[in-house]
Structure 1
Amino acid sequence: MPWRVRTTLDDRPGILAEVAQACGHAGLNIVSMQVFGVADRVTDEFVVDGPLDEVAVAEVFAKAGGTDVAVTRIETGTIVDAPTRYLEAVHQVLEEGRDVEEVLRELLATEPPDVADYAGHDVLDLVRRGGTTLRISRAVPFTPAERSRAQALLSLVSDAGADLPLIAPSAFHPIPLVREAALADIDAVAALHSRCSVETLYARYQTPLRMPMTTRFARRLVVPEHGVALVAQAGLDVVGHAVVEPGEPRWTAQVLVEDAWSARGIGTMLVRQAAATARAGHADALTFLSAGSNDALLRSVGSAGFVARVERRDDVVHITVPLRG
């Protein structure tokens, strides 16, 4: 069974040979090793494989001269060198849309909590680009190298797309277009939501939306589990977004337009493309959903050439347009 062992050793010649000899006598095979230097002592991380339990493994390293020994069980697939794991983590966040906090917790092995000689959790505070703090805790103390690596990774993925305006209204462009969304739109869609007012977001989602949104949520908006996502693009900015979902007995759509682009035809373009998408899926009707009174959406539906049936169910307005006949 593989174990990850973290221990502090004297920084002197021959200490690693003594540890290796102790592991050999105990039937432990050293699979990998990392060294984290601190002043006149070093914190070493070993991955060992053998028939012992965590308490017995800890005793082997303690008798070999190790102090602050911490042993945790790991999966065989996690035995990869640290630089490769961190590079893969950057790819997962930027290209696959994974949440950076989730990725960091995997890299720093915050699970499982069953640690021999548990002495309390250590806390790691990482600073995001916007000044907010991401806090991660772990039973095994963090080394200075791990703290630096984690902060560097968070800074790197946070700075990606930093040249895009996140708060200021996007500049007008004379020829906006509507197209199907793609993974490359994750940051732009998140930026769109950050520029929208609370009222606009509530009309779209029928619930208060917490900002800033996570990468995972933005990914679901551009690649929904069911249906198709649309974006309205003006220049380099996404200024509108819609999701069209199939269902029985009718398809549904929800539309969001940036406040600064309201009454400029973006909503009408999204309504038309949403209807075309539903019609291509053989839908007979399409229902646009919105919270409360949404005159802008009603005007967009009318401007798109539809005669709609409007119903209110609880606090949600259903605007249904026929797609056949």
Structure 2
Amino acid sequence: MALWRIRATVDDRPGYLSVLTASLALRGVNILTVQVHTTEVGAVDDFLVDAPEQVTEAELRAAVERGRGRDCWVARSEARGLADEPTRVLGLAGRLVRDPEAAGATLRTLLGADVVTWRPAPVAAPGGVGGTTMVLADPAGGAYELRRREPSFTPAEYARAQALVELAATLGRRDTDRVTVVLPDGAEVSVRPATADDVPAVRELHAGCSARSRQRRYLSGAADPSPARLRRLLEPARGTTLLVTTGSGGAAEPVVAMANLLGEGDEAEAALLVRDDWQRRGLGSALLRRLLGHADRAGYAAVLLHVQAENTPMLRTLRRLDRPTALERDGGLLTATVPLAPVPASPDGHGAGPAPAGCGAAPALPAQAGHGLPSQRSGPI
């Protein structure tokens, strides 16, 4: 017996697939797996079959056509084709986890493409399938163009390929976030994205913080958030959470700080929690700058921080950003708004400063104040 792959379009009507499989059975062909790709012109059936060694490609094609199949494509296959498609795709996703830079090679393997080209220029019509050419928008910028001689790409293949490209972009961003930060006092820390697996380490971080630090972070009595709430903070639906560890940044290293960016609408809220023995060392400033960078790339219009009026260390951190910042007071709570839209240049070539009070804008950040966050709550630096 020999392994073959057969792809053909079959009218999506009751009994038509049975006619095709019966025609193949008459040639002694055994169907091992079948995938159905829904298209506008009918159902594209992708078979992996084994057939008697003497059966030729032309005979297989003729059997398909007698079974009412059209646009037939036939090619020899290998034993690795016996792996079911979900298992194969998960294996390729695992390869991307290990090497996000292998997106092109992974796409080539997934779709059997002859050529995979990445283009830095934006795509005029992002995404799409046209015969034996496929264009995939890269979330990181640019696009992938895939070509193969045959068979034509299907919408299902496009969806799988786009999902892998988005996974590669996500992993690439995570790798970018894994950095070593040197603080002003010479200490080195590792910054990395958080995952749900970090809940125990983040609970230890909370236990290592003073009650005052936790209260500044949450602006409430929630000194010890539940594991369920921490999981939502560590993997937000929109935004990101960064953790700071000492040493190499491995999972076993203690977490000494957490920075959260939670998006809602066109704005995002930022919050920090830094262990007491790591405060006032420049760590909060470094984390807040990275959160603003995330918000910039995500296209948010502004970042908000809600702070207790007595939290002067956090406001000093905001002043170090050298960005226009509006401040609103509600009793003992201050809301700082950091706009992310480009700031018009003043005649001397410098960015415009905050709008003066009394001109329809909130007052600029004062020399002394303090702060935190309503749904997030900021912490001290």
**TM-score where L is the length of structure 1:** 0.48
Name which one, 1 or 2, has greater alpha-carbon Rg.
2
